[in-house]
Amino acid sequence: MRLENKRVIALVSADFEDLELWYPVMRLREEGAEVHLVGEKANETYMGKYGVPAVSDYAFKDVDPAEYDAILVPGGWAPDKLRRYPEVIEMVRHMDEQQKPIGQVCHAGWVLISAKILDGRNVTSTPGIKDDMENAGAIWHDEAVVIDGHIISSRRPPDLPPYAKAFADVLAEQ
């Protein structure tokens, strides 16, 4: 399996977009990656917008991003909460500094905005936060998937198949 020995952080908080968390997580696990759900608390059940639960493996404070190869940020309303945790911002900044894959879907762009890593980067997101992305210096595109080096972004659930494939492809090349 091409992603064997790859470790990925998947951030989770209440009101994540169910498919935007689970589709990429399952896709990466199918290819052999070890994906850990990481939330404010370990062993906490977080409910998605549509009622699908996710139990965190670890707490933000217990994770060393240097031990991981990539990070996934799901959309939904969770990004508005996730970006308020200094540990989350530090994880995203670490991944950016190390040029490790950062996946973001829909409203997840808010987390990357708060990490201040979008200036001059090509991205997409839900059109609802296009202005936020551009105000952070990003170059926004209305496309299913945009890859700018190690940042892989997507708009919404119908774009998940090409997004998950693109993320897996970038991760496999690391």
**Which of the residues are catalytic?**
107
Does residue 165 sit in helix, strand or coil? helix
For 37, the enclosing helix (H) or strand (E) is strand 34-39
Total number of residues shown for the chain: 174
Among residues 10, 25, 153, 162, the alpha carbon closest in space to that of 71 is found at 10
Q: Which two tokens stand for residue 52?
A: 């699908």
Residue type, 44: E
